Chain A
């Protein structure tokens, strides 16, 4: 029986894209919430974390209404946007705990040695928190990939149970691997 692998490749591409977008928004947000004190900080934190609490269907409904694409039509742009919003809080929260775990004495030492804030972040904070950040990216990717995988398989109209099982297996395996490597990274068992 020939297996149609295209849903898998599609999911891989979209998940990578969604993770990239989450990273671009989530990492600065994580830094802002970790390193800066400003009014409305708690509110921003709550808003950014809200998608964790909302069921995906509700989120998709609001989003698609906002984009004026109701009734529901599957389009990969919208899917990537939904997935990004959905992945963002996970990535942000995991990166945040990673950034917060960096010993401030290193950052202060860098400031005292004349480094501007962006240099402190780039040369010190980021380098010392990289394990946690990679773990956050992997977890976000795994989540996005599973989401897409299941959706594309179902939306792709696969009806053959055997075919679905064959497609689901690598998705689960990839997610498991991502989480496992992420955990090991965070415990520092993989050397730099």
Chain B
């Protein structure tokens, strides 16, 4: 269990995390690396406190500041930093100084097996594949049996193959050890794949935390929704709410929509309406009267994505539909976009955002 409260000029966060993987998700400059470096002890925050299990790693008030070597954190930094002058085997041995020889060999052997590194063990980092380097870095971080694992995704992100490799390695750690992991990432897919808990960070602040699915389904603010990559965000006003029939009525800039009942909202509330691009449905507009929640829209741009096609309509409406679906409809002259009521979510809108 790690408890962190930090404050520096560009950072103010407070969170706890127990076993499993906690993702620190946010754009570049959100403070992810700064948080990990503070926990590992490479950066000294101005104030705050970091407690790992029962040990105080850092406390500005009582001037406790343990050196990195006594913090028991296994850190996979964004540079990975496998020692280039040692073989992978010797890299794994490095954290085990002070243990008996037999124990050292047992652990190294176990790690080499667990991360499929037996063949590469005798080679130096520059002579093995990036995937092997990544696995060796993860293995080296946990071989000393730390109390916490910190993982920082490389600044430039990872290519698909390496991302899958990292996910596999971290899944191994999650499933085979009790080790809590803090993972800093800019990739929302990685969060969903691995993390039981997500901390949404922006400019040194935590905007929201919770299970990734819950955060994605119910962003706490429009910034959170933007960071999560939800493209459809519309200012709206609630016209009517009916808890009995579980419905609501909203007015957007140029049309009205029916949604589910939103508990806690009042009539006249000004909100942001969020809809995932993949939840919008499209159909040809043959000139007849649109049905409920269907809106005629002019198609402005089509972009091919690996699995889907992204359609951008006038009024900043973005829909993503399967390729086959698009192939059927690509000759549409005019389009109807349907907002399924169950896909509609609302987020509070500050008065300042109306300006």
Report if A124 contacts B (CB, 8 A). Answer: yes
Q: Does residue A110 face the partner (Cβ distance < 8 Å to B)?
A: yes
A123 with B94: in contact, given A105-B77, A192-B85 (CB under 8 Å)?
yes
Say yes or no for B68: interface residue by CB 8 A criterion. yes
Interface SS of chain A: helix, strand, loop or mixed?
helix
Contact A105 B85 (CB under 8 A): no
Contact with A along B137-173 (1 / 0, CB 8 A): 0001000100000000000000000000000000000
Q: Count the B residues whose beta carbon is within 8 Å of the partner chain — how many?
A: 23
Q: Knowing A103-B79, A105-B77 are in contact, say whether A113-B95 is a contact too (CB < 8 A).
A: yes
Alpha-carbon distance A108/B42, docked complex (angstroms):
7
Is A112's CB under 8 angstroms from B79's CB? no
Q: Which chain A residue shows the least CB distance to B37?
A: A108
Q: Are A106 and B95 in contact (CB under 8 A)?
A: no
CA distance A178 to B165 in the complex (A): 47
- Tell me whether B4 is interfacial, beta carbon within 8 Å: no
Cβ < 8 Å to A, chain B residues 49-97: 67-71, 73-75, 77, 79, 81, 83-85, 94-95, 97
**Given A103-B79, A109-B81, does the pair A115, B97 have CB atoms closer than 8 Å?**
yes
Tell me whether B77 and A115 are in contact (CB under 8 A): no
CA distance A123 to B41 in the complex (A): 21
CB distance from B282 to the nearest CB of A (A): 49
A22 to chain B, nearest CB (A): 25
Could you count the A-B residue pairs with CB atoms below 8 Å apart for me: how many are there?
Answer: 58
| Residues in A neighbouring B83, C-beta threshold 8 A | 106, 109-110, 123-124
Q: Is A13 among interface residues, defined by CB-CB distance under 8 A?
A: no
A111 and B85: CB pair below 8 A? no
- A124: which B residues are within 8 A, CB to CB? 83
**Would you call B40 an interface residue if the criterion is a C-beta within 8 Å of the partner chain's C-beta atoms?**
yes
Q: How far is the CA of A106 from the CA of B68 in the complex (A)?
A: 13
Contact yes or no, B81 A114, CB < 8 A: no
Could you tell me if B85 and A112 are in contact, using CB atoms closer than 8 angstroms? Answer: no
Please report A residues at the B interface, Cβ cutoff 8 Å: 103, 105-106, 108-116, 119, 123-124, 127-128, 192
Q: Please, could you name 18 A-B residue pairs with CB atoms under 8 Å apart, sorted by A?
A: A103-B79, A105-B81, A106-B81, A108-B68, A108-B75, A109-B81, A111-B42, A111-B67, A111-B69, A112-B71, A112-B74, A113-B94, A113-B140, A114-B70, A123-B83, A124-B83, A128-B84, A192-B85
